[in-house]
């Protein structure tokens, strides 16, 4: 099968996408596919020309961040009539917009933290929520730009002043406890992973996600079976509520003291680097990395 792999992109997550793309290219070639890498830059006309020249049967979207997982490149591929991996335009756009995601998840009866979208001006004026709370860009991934404001912290005004992620920010109550995640392939939730950032990390930030030794993943997470079942159920229901396709990953916080499990976000383009969570969960379920990549391109052709 002829597969074009889109990698790179123009977002803050370009370095991650390049690592993801290289791993995917190797895996797809290992499973017998004819692979054409396409490094996506700021000139979309050049990307379109490369796609037309490659004439693939299917496109593996290995992009991360804005324009790669927010419906933008998906719209280009739809226009060209090319099947592609992961979610479509609507689910990609909604999942990338954390404010919109919260609304849909809550409407589906799924648990989200107390919070709201505020303007940077509002954030500069006063605490939007009682501390501790989390400030997030509305449309970034991989914990880019995430800040935690704790009681007695005087960084709020500085964060607002130096904010570079648009005119709005999402603020949510900080949920203490464990960082959990569960991936979905099609109509199946795979497993729950307990993510343990290294001791020097303030939380599961960008470096903890992608730097070697930045975090330790325990799969399956050591949890009461009822909590595992709840997380798997929530992940599948979130996947379905947003209209996701292919693979997705839902991230949680779990407070053992109160038995509270809260959805943080849904990722329509889960990381596929050597340290990423979806490949680890697939391997735990008996699906090697090359087979996971092969499933993604074959699933895309069934839509």
Active site residue: 147, 251, 280, 299, which one? 251
Active site residue: 17, 142, 143, 276, which one? 142
Active site residue: 84, 133, 210, 254, which one? 210
The yes-or-no answer on residue 210 being catalytic is: yes
The yes-or-no answer on residue 154 being catalytic is: no
d(CA 127, CA 104) in angstroms, rounded, equals 26
Alpha helices in 81-218 (DSSP H): 89-96, 98-107, 120-125, 156-161, 206-210
Written as six digits, the tokens of 162 are 């130096």
d(CA 131, CA 134) in angstroms, rounded, equals 9
Active site residue: 8, 21, 68, 271, which one? 271
d(CA 70, CA 101) in angstroms, rounded, equals 12
Active site residue: 102, 230, 249, 253, which one? 249
Active site residue: 69, 179, 265, 294, which one? 265
The yes-or-no answer on residue 289 being catalytic is: no
The yes-or-no answer on residue 249 being catalytic is: yes
Active site residue: 12, 13, 84, 215, which one? 13
Residue 201 is classified by DSSP as: -
d(CA 66, CA 228) in angstroms, rounded, equals 31
Q: For residue 199, what is the enclosing H or E element?
A: none
- The set of residues, in sequence order, having a beta carbon less than 8 Å from that of 122 and lying 6+ positions away, is 128
Active site residue: 140, 267, 294, 299, which one? 267
The yes-or-no answer on residue 122 being catalytic is: no
d(CA 290, CA 198) in angstroms, rounded, equals 29
Burial of 220 (0-12, 13-18, 19+ CB in 10 A): middle
The yes-or-no answer on residue 142 being catalytic is: yes
CA of residue 76 relative to chain centroid, distance? 21
> What are the residue numbers of the active site?
13, 142, 210, 249, 251, 265, 267, 271
């Amino acid at each position: 099968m002829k597969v074009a792999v889109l990698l790179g992109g123009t977002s803050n997550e370009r370095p991650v996408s390049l690592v993801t793309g290289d791993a995917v290219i190797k895996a797809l070639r290992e499973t017998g596919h004819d692979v054409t890498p396409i490094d996506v830059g700021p000139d979309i006309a050049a990307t379109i020309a490369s796609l037309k020249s490659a004439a693939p049967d299917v496109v593996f979207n290995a992009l991360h961040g804005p324009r790669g997982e927010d419906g933008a490149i998906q719209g280009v591929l739809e226009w060209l009539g090319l099947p592609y991996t992961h979610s479509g335009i609507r689910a990609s756009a909604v999942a990338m917009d954390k404010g919109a995601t919260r609304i849909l998840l809550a409407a589906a009866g799924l648990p989200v933290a107390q919070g709201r979208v505020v303007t940077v001006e509002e954030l500069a004026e006063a605490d939007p929520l009682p501390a501790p709370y989390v400030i997030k860009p509305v449309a970034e991934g991989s914990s880019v730009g995430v800040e935690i404001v704790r009681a007695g912290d005087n960084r709020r005004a500085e964060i607002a002043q130096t904010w570079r992620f648009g005119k709005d920010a999402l603020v949510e109550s900080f949920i203490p406890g464990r960082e959990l995640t569960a991936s979905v392939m099609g109509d199946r939730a795979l497993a729950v992973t307990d993510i343990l950032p290294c001791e020097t990390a303030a939380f599961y930030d960008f470096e903890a996600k992608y730097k070697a030794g930045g975090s330790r993943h325990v799969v399956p997470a050591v949890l009461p079976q009822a909590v595992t079942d709840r997380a798997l159920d929530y992940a599948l229901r979130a996947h379905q509520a947003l209209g996701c396709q292919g693979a997705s990953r839902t991230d949680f916080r779990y407070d053992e003291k109160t038995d509270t499990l809260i959805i943080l976000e849904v990722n329509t383009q889960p990381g596929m680097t050597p340290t990423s969570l979806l490949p680890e969960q697939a391997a735990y379920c008996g699906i090697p990395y090359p087979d996971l990549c092969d499933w993604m391109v074959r699933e895309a052709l069934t839509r």
